[in-house]
Each structure stands twice: as structure tokens, then as C-alpha cells.
Amino acid sequence: MDKIIFHIDVNSAFLSWEAVYRLAHKGGREDLREIASAVGGDMALRHGIILAKSIPAKKYGIKTGQTILEAKRKCPTLVLVPPNYNLYEQCSAAFIEILREYSDTVEQYSIDEAFIDMSASCHLFGAPEETAEKIRNRIREELGFTVNIGISFNKLLAKMASDFQKPDRVHTLYPEEIKAKMWPLPVSDLFFVGRATTGKLFSIGIQTIGELAAADPAWLKSVLKKQGEIIWGFANGIDLSEVLAQPAPNKGYGNSTTTPYDVTDMETAEKVLLALSETVGSRLRADRVQIGVVSVGIRYADLSHVSHQKVLDSPTNLTAEIYTAACGLFRELWKGDPIRHLGVHTGRADGSDFGRQLNIFDQTDYEKLLKLDKTVDGLRSRFGNDAVMRAAFLDQPIDHMSGGISREKRSVDYDRVAVR
């Protein structure tokens, strides 16, 4: 039996979810999706970029990732709304719940998109296109926002199909349709082809997906290494990946944050590293895993980036050990230039209990440190992250649990926001 794969993608997800919430629950009269609007971070906190934009805003040339300042120059009347990740998570869970009514094999690819393997269940609901229309209509009528659905026999082609004309559409991209529907598209539209690869392909005379599909794969490999083979396969509709009902295990944990001001001293930088180590350590312990590698990344005020990593003597999930390793790496890396962004990441995560390599010169009571960390985790879980705070963070602009989705993006105080 041929596979039947759907890819469901929420149209302008963050903006759509905010628009629906305002219209349904906050007395909003203006639909953000129908005007030039965008979801953006807080310029005062230096998270001032566009996270999502409406289709009317797109017509002004506004792009995701652009600074709010640039976006406002292009469209002075642009309506900006703050991010609300708690709302996004609720909306995401709601649409995934609907998808699970149609198949047991649902892979949530990101907060606003998912794959469904309909091979075993599609016959219960009708033809693939008919079933997709049912799902699309249910999401719009029950949840208030729209999705695009792509249909094919593998994940790659289903995802490509969902990116065809938007919003609120169902598209197919079966093998016999590749030549007409996919090959004329610019090569930059192909999955896994980023800006740098697009430039390389243009330089060797390949501008469309069809031209890439017709190229010699051995020649592409000589030019682009392994990626050349992969994207040649994608251009020809080849993708052997399965829809995974369960997410792959997390092999690395990390966090990063944009600092509230340019950091120019070691003491402040180490406080940021401590805050990041706190959040990384708590996540490791929550998942009952240990890591064997710690890395630190620095983005300077001029946006240049450096990073360095080290392999630990023994696997750990202790905040103190992660922090000590991060500080050591930072001291090796930092040359004194103003810092805009810091990150602490880890690798070689494993749930096995490795034990600890003995060292007669190390008198640290690791069992006591673990008990302390777990006690703090329990208190924060029960009473909130601010239930326990290190004294170093008192009266400081640095959040003691930095990184990930910041607090100001987690929710919105609508009493302080104008709802039109």
C-alpha cells in the first residue's frame, strides 16, 4: 500500500493565534490577520525582532527575523503586538489534539506544524483530499485559525505541498505532479537549501529545483559534499524518513539569552552563565539524564560569534559543575569585547547511570550537591521559579533563570496592552 502523508502548517501561527484570542476573548474588533501587523519582541529588552507577520505586512517586505526598527521603516503604520508563548502552547496543543483523532501516528514537527501518517486510517474518512478538507475546516471552525495541508506519499513532498499558495488551502504533490508543480520553483524553495547553498547553486548555473534534479549527483557531491547528494534526492522527491509518533530523544540541552545591556565585565558575564547553568541543570535533572560535554557561545555587540566546548571527566547534571565548566570556557574565549548574547549548551546526554570517576584529590561531596539541586528543583516546581534565588541575583537586571522563552514573552498583561 502506498503511504499517505499529510503535512499541516498553521498560517502565520503566532499572529493568527493572537488575533483569534483578541477577537474571541478580549473584545477585539480588528482582525490582526487582515491588516499590516506583526508579533515582535521588546526593543527595550533588546529582543526587538519580528517573530511573525501578517500577509498584508509581508507585502511591505517585512520578514521574520527583521528588527522592529527595520520593519517600522518599511511600514510606519505597522501594528505590533507582544509575544505570548503560553497562548501559543495552548493553541498548538488544541490543533494537535484534533489531528490525533484521525491517526495514531502524529509527529509534531514544531509548535505550529505536524506530519500525520494517514496510510492506515485514511479509508475511514474518505479520499485523502476529502479527509484533508475535513481537518482544515474543523480547525478553522472549532479553533478559529487556518492551516495549509500538503498531501503526498512522503514527508518531504507533503511539506513542499503545504507551502504552495496560502492561506487556508489543501494541496497535493504526488510523484506524477513533481515535474509540473515543484521543478519550476526556485531552488531556494527546496527544503534543506539555505541562503549559502542557494548562492553556491546559482554560481554553478542551477536556479530551479528542476535544474537541480537533472544535475549529475556525483558532480553535486564534489561541489557540495554530502549535502549535494541529499538535496539532489529531495529535488527528485526522494525521502525515506518515517513519521515518528514519538519525538527523538534529546541528545543535547542548552539555553541562551540576549543580555539586557552590553556586558563588558567578567562578574556580570559569570552571573549570566550561572543563570543559564541553572536552567540547563534543572532540565537535565527533570529528564533524569547526564551530559558529558559543555560548550559556551558568545555573540558580541558587532554580531560576530565564537564558541568553545570541553569534554567533562565524568557525566553530570549538577548546576555547579556545568557552571564551573562554562566559566572556564568563557575565560578562555573572551577577549574583552562587549557581549550581546551568551549561551550554555551541552552534549552527549544519556539516561544511563554512569557513576563518577574517582579522584583521590577531589573532596567534593557530589551527593550533597545533587540533593541540594533536587531540593531547589522541587521548591521551584511547587512554588514558582522565584521561590529560591541565589543572593547574587538580588537587585540585579539579570533574571536568575535566564534563557529559553523569557518571562516577558511567556504571557501578556492585556490590561496594559491596547486591543483594537
pLDDT band at 6 (very low <50, low <70, confident <90, very high): very high
pLDDT band at 410 (very low <50, low <70, confident <90, very high): low
- 188 and 271 fall within a common domain: no
∠ CA 238-222-155 to the nearest 5 degrees?
A: 15
Q: Is the pLDDT of residue 101 over 60?
A: yes
Mean pLDDT of 190-206: 91
Hey, is 339 helix, strand or coil? Answer: strand
Would you state the pLDDT for residue 108? 92
Total domain count for the chain?
Answer: 3
Catalytic residue positions, numbered? 113
Domain-located, residue 3: yes
- Residue 322 cell numbers, joined: 556545568
Tens digit of pLDDT for each residue in 57-84? 999 999 887 888 889 999 999 999 988 8
Of 133, 150, 179, which closes a domain?
A: 179
- 356 and 224 fall within a common domain: no
Domain-located, residue 416: no
Domain-located, residue 242: no
Domain-located, residue 365: yes
- Residue 58 cell numbers, joined: 509581508
- 133 and 71 fall within a common domain: yes
Would you state the pLDDT for residue 285? 92
pTM over 0.95: no
Contact 36, 139 (CB under 8 A): no
Of 235, 267, 302, which closes a domain?
A: 235
Question: pLDDT exceeding 90 applies to what percent of the chain?
Answer: 60
64-73, 169-178, 186-195, 401-410 — most confident range: 169-178
Would you state the pLDDT for residue 132? 97
Which domain, by its residues, includes 47? 1-179
Taking the CA atoms of the chain, what radius of gyration do you get in angstroms? 24
Contact 132, 170 (CB under 8 A): yes
Would you state the pLDDT for residue 221? 92
Tens digit of pLDDT for each residue in 261-310? 889 999 999 999 999 999 999 999 999 999 999 999 998 888 788 899 99
- 159 and 131 fall within a common domain: yes
- 124 and 193 fall within a common domain: no
> Whose CA is closest to 404, among 319, 345, 351, 334?
345
Alpha-carbon distance of 262 to 337, in angstroms, equals 9
Is 10 or 41 the better-scoring residue by pLDDT?
Answer: 10
Mean pLDDT, all residues of the chain:
88
Would you state the pLDDT for residue 393? 74
**Bond into 247 cis (ω within 30):** no
- End-to-end Cα, the chain, rounded Å: 52
Would you state the pLDDT for residue 48? 73
User: How remote is the C-alpha of 298 from its chain's centroid?
Assistant: 20
Contact 241, 368 (CB under 8 A): no
- Residue 305 cell numbers, joined: 560569534
Would you state the pLDDT for residue 411? 60
pLDDT band at 251 (very low <50, low <70, confident <90, very high): low
DSSP H helical ranges for 163-257: 195-203, 209-214, 217-224, 226-235
Domain-located, residue 84: yes
Would you state the pLDDT for residue 134? 96
- 301 and 193 fall within a common domain: no
Domain-located, residue 249: no
- 139 and 18 fall within a common domain: yes
Would you state the pLDDT for residue 270? 93
Alpha-carbon distance of 116 to 8, in angstroms, equals 8
Q: Is the pLDDT of residue 180 over 80?
A: yes
Mean pLDDT of 32-55: 80
> Whose CA is closest to 95, among 42, 47, 147?
147
Alpha-carbon distance of 155 to 158, in angstroms, equals 5
- 91 and 137 fall within a common domain: yes
Alpha-carbon distance of 170 to 7, in angstroms, equals 10
Question: pLDDT exceeding 70 applies to what percent of the chain?
Answer: 89
Tens digit of pLDDT for each residue in 308-351? 999 998 899 999 999 999 999 999 999 899 998 899 999 888 87
Across 108-122, 229-243, 262-276, 366-380, least confident range: 366-380
Across 10-14, 143-147, 391-395, least confident range: 391-395
DSSP H helical ranges for 204-308: 209-214, 217-224, 226-235, 266-286
Q: Is the pLDDT of residue 150 over 60?
A: yes
pLDDT band at 355 (very low <50, low <70, confident <90, very high): low
Domain-located, residue 229: yes
- 98 and 226 fall within a common domain: no
- 188 and 89 fall within a common domain: no
Would you state the pLDDT for residue 412? 67
Q: Is the pLDDT of residue 44 over 80?
A: no
Alpha-carbon distance of 419 to 97, in angstroms, equals 29
* CATH code for the domain of 213: 1.10.150.20
Query: What number of other Cβ atoms are within 10 A of residue 172's Cβ?
Result: 17
- 386 and 259 fall within a common domain: yes
* CATH code for the domain of 301: 3.30.1490.100
* CATH code for the domain of 62: 3.30.70.270
Would you state the pLDDT for residue 49? 80
Tens digit of pLDDT for each residue in 400-409? 776 555 555 5
- 338 and 279 fall within a common domain: yes
Would you state the pLDDT for residue 390? 78
- H or E segment at 17? helix 13-25
E strands along 317-398, which residues? 339-347
Domain-located, residue 215: yes
Of 179, 206, 223, which closes a domain?
A: 179
